[in-house]
Chain A
Amino acid sequence: MNNIVEFRNVSRIYKVGDHEQKALDRVDLTLQSGRMIVILGPSGAGKSTLLNLLGGLDSPTSGTITVDGQDISKFSGDELARYRASKVGFVFQSYNLIPTLTVRENVALVSEISKDHLDPDKMLSDVGLSDHGRKFPSELSGGEQQRVSIARALAKNPQILLCDEPTGALDSETGVMVLKVLLGMARQYGKTIIIVTHNQNIARIADTVVRVKNGRIKSAEDQTPVPVDEVDW
């Protein structure tokens, strides 16, 4: 397996008035492709910042981030947009579906920006929502909405799937179901998954667990994952 993500001496400093806040402090991190990676840490540790930098939503104050051999840390706005369109898929805690588009349209949306996209209908059937294509997001349950969001993220056919607290708004049972779908899909399509969470239980399903605290990497360890069904919170 090759390295897909490399952080080299990455810092992200936010200026709030006169005050400087170091969200990430000289981070070095290497992640391998095709793995299920969980970034674990309490709130305010810097894990979301890490994910945002990796997803091209934000740029580092210093240091370099290489994804699939490309240094994205110096990318322009348009280059970042192209990167987001082709390399990464996002799954958020709050789903972020477009409320005025139907379920199918939300997934098919990616065909507008990605040449290499997958069939939206196939993706919907893979997440078990073939019958809901004509519904609006507001007509679905939280778990269903998150599955649409996973279908949409994967429809772009990205290399990496970035998930920010994907089960944060769901109850345990639904959360486990969503994780199952997520893992199943990632395996089926051979994607690298990076999940950011504060939930220790979720970390148990990962191949690699990266622990973050106070803007620094505390540890990054490979482990033997437990099946999703055994997880509970």
Chain B
Amino acid sequence: MLFRKLIRTAGRYRAQFISMIIMTALGIGIFVGFNMEWYTIERDISSFFERTGFSDQRIISAAGFSYEDVRKVKSIGGVENAARYISVNTSAKDGDTVALTVTEDIAVSGFIVTSGEEYDEKSADGIWLSDKYADANGIKTGDALSLGYKSVTVSGVVRGLIKSGEYLICIPDQTQLMPDYSTFGYAYISPVMLKSVIGAEFYTQINVITELETKQFRERVDRAFGKTMLTVSKDDTVSYSEAMGESEEGKTMGSILPVLFLAISVLTMVTTMHRLTASEKTQIGTLKALGFKDGTITAHYTSYAALIGVAGTALGVALGVWLGWFIMNPNGSMGTYIDMDDWSLHTPPFVWAVLVLINAFLVLIGFLSVRKMLRGTAADALRPYTPKKVRRLLIERLPLWDRLGFGAKWNLRDNFRHKARSAMTLFGTVGCTLLLVASFGMKDTMDAFLDTFYNNAMNYTYRINVDAEKASRDDVAALAEKYEADTCSGQSIQIDGQTFALEIYGISHDTQRFVGDDGGYVALSDTGAYVSRRVARDTGAGAGDTLTFSRYGESGEYTVKIEGILRSMTESVVMTEKYADSVGIGYTADMLMTKKAEVEDDPLILNTQSKKSIIDSFDTFLDVMYKMLILLVAAASALGVVVLYNLGVMSYTERYREMATLKVLGFRNRRIGGLLISQNMWMTLIGVIIGIPAGVGVLRYLLAALASEYELNLSLGPVTFIAAAALTFTVSLIVGLMISRKNKKIDMVEALKTPE
């Protein structure tokens, strides 16, 4: 019988029940979704890395490694496996770039075949091509493919389509944000084919699978080779570091947002359960008078909370799994960024424990609420709940108070009388504004970032990659003059065991600008070097300090003075050619940047990259970002609507009698509705005023979490603030109108019949 009562009461308080379920579901959904995201990334990627033999360490030498060298590495204690490896960017048709890769042992830095023939390490003409590149360019197994590198052409037949851990995030360099398979891909050939094409065995890397710590590994490698070797750990590879960055982002999103939603859900539970048990107090008393035990009554009312918890959790888990799938599926937002074969979703075990705790907490709230109403004898319980007495407010002492209209006084006293409800309303509007400011602000910041780095800092039409091995300094100078180009030399350096880039620029045509820490453009000085923000952070070096680094493959060290800090797409040390000369760093420019509209074929030019092709690759990036933005804005609006509607209904119920009195006195429906809406609007105003700085704070926190991936500067346009405020007010107004429409249904006769 009590179960029937449970269902009917739930029907009676459906607005509260539904909104609590939605709120709990949203909180749990986001919690489950984002935690699934990062955990799935870690699980699936580590499985993918394991299956494709993603290497933990790379030993690099431009001079190449012998078979003897591999044996040396393999005999190092703690090394599980090692293989010689090479990857060079080759040019395919239409100016596409394909990273041609060879590994001597497919178990190290290898791949898995998604279609076509299995890998054959003896194949003389087989090419195993990235399936995504093949798909984007209409290439099928059995098709012939030619790849050019300098004067050599590698021709073969596509035997199989593959995915490789080494190319999990398939971008040519860090200036490109997202993979663009229509222009950049990768392919593997067998060591046999490599030898037949170039007539010799030539490998510039030894890739190593090992559990050793980087420091330990380096020491052992240096000891084995008897000299300092250049090694790069997986932490410095794009695929690993960016994937872990995504995982970190997921962890951040999985912690801030759910806390906000779940806190609101729990607080709503407190106010709603109190309201429900208070208005059912006489029924609780009746049950007690009828002879029901306290325990039975407690269990009955506690089951309301349990019902909400279970329904909210079920919906939330469904939402979370959908969210996890939405982000983590081969065609979803993460699918455009990382390329792997297995996208099965995983949930971290602690999530289930947290869900149990949340439910236990919700039930506890229900339990405590009903316990309060059950106190004393059956006669005590039968007496209706008396709301708190009204107290004079502090602001009533101000002279301003007397000038306030009746509506303002009525609403203000109501707010202070029902503090929990008012606090919740504020919480809801603050949360709504906060999410909107953070979402729109993220867009502003990313837009400004792209604008600063790409539209404005890249002031060239083409980037020309020069064959640095063939071209002399004079050749490069001649090319630069021909194309009125600026020059850049890129090298790898190590600072305290960490790998960074060294970029040496010769700028005289303003083709590349440098972004200062504060956002403005900086003209490079010839008296010192600049470090990008991440280098400054990782090395602890700042302007005025000195920085010592070694170049890969060299034992000598260079000490430079730091002139300033830059924001950069790469983790780099930047200097002018003049300063490099003064410090004695040798270089040959391997990249030119020109404003010319066309670049002619030249044996010294490896390939060119247009600014347009780089900018085009943002489209996917922006698309992903906008999708997330829409999701967040929808969540923010849902939060606002659900919280405000629930509290609005609660306020309406609590003030029903007062509104009936106003009606009897002759107040019109519209006037009473106006009073309710104005209370909502004032609360919203306060919510917006708090929500805007809170949103900026959350955005700062997010940017800090993203700092290892992007050197972002907070950027917020006035439109963001206006839109966030306007949307919050709109949500509040719509809810206000929905609630105030109920006024018409107030039954004056019924409402005023019963004594208070």
Contacts and interface: CB of A to CB of B under 8 A. Distances in A.
A16 to B, nearest CB: 13
A82 B749 contact: no
A123 to B, nearest CB: 14
Contact of B657 (A96, A101, A113, A169): A96
A94 B754 contact: yes
B234 interface: no
Contact of A112 (B406, B660, B669, B744): B406
A92 interface: yes
Interface in B636-688: 657-658, 660-669, 671
Contacts of B666: 81-86, 110, 113-114, 156
B661 A96 contact: yes
A92 B660 CA distance: 12
Contacts of B660: 96
A100 interface: yes
A140 to B, nearest CB: 12
Contacts of A113: 665-667, 671
Contacts of B417: 100
Contact of B664 (A86, A96, A108, A169): A96
Interface residues of B, number: 31
B199 interface: no
Contact of A52 (B387, B671, B749, B756): B749
Nearest to B754: A94
Contacts, number: 90
A109 B390 contact: no
B669 A81 contact: yes
A13 interface: no
A105 interface: yes
A226 interface: no
A78 interface: yes
B151 to A, nearest CB: 90
A136 B406 contact: no
Contact of A138 (B390, B658, B671, B749): B390
Q: Max chain B CB contacts within 10 Å: which of A84, A92, A99?
A: A99
A108 B665 CA distance: 12
Contact of A136 (B389, B663, B664): B389
A108 B406 contact: yes
Contacts of A109: 406, 662, 665
Contacts of B409: 100-101, 105
Contacts of A58: 748-749
Contacts of A95: 756
B37 to A, nearest CB: 48
Contacts of A84: 663-666
B668 A57 contact: no
B755 A136 contact: no
Interface in A60-117: 77-78, 81-86, 90, 92-101, 105, 108-110, 112-114
B713 to A, nearest CB: 49
A55 interface: yes
Contacts of A77: 668-669, 744
B665 A156 contact: yes
Nearest to A90: B664
A138 B752 contact: no
Given A100-B414, A101-B413, A109-B406, A78 B657 contact: no
Contacts of B413: 100-101
Contacts of A101: 406, 409-410, 413
Contact of A81 (B661, B663, B756): B663
Interface string A187-199: 0000000000000
Contacts of B744: 77
Contact of A78 (B662, B668, B748, B752): B668
Contacts of A85: 665-667
A138 B662 CA distance: 18
Interface string B168-201: 0000000000000000000000000000000000
Nearest to B756: A94
Contact of B390 (A48, A94, A100, A156): A100
A113 B392 CA distance: 25
Contacts of A83: 666
Interface in B290-315: none
Contacts of B389: 136, 138
B752 A96 contact: yes
8 contacts: A86-B666, A93-B755, A96-B756, A99-B658, A99-B756, A100-B658, A105-B409, A113-B666
Given A90-B665, A101-B406, A113-B666, 20 more contacts: A77-B668, A77-B744, A84-B663, A85-B667, A94-B755, A96-B661, A96-B752, A97-B661, A98-B662, A99-B390, A100-B410, A100-B414, A101-B409, A101-B410, A109-B406, A109-B665, A112-B667, A136-B392, A156-B665, A169-B755
Closest 8 CB pairs of A and B: A85-B666, A100-B413, A84-B666, A94-B755, A81-B668, A96-B661, A57-B748, A136-B390
Interface of B: 387, 389-390, 392, 405-406, 409-410, 413-414, 417, 657-658, 660-669, 671, 744, 748-749, 752, 754-756
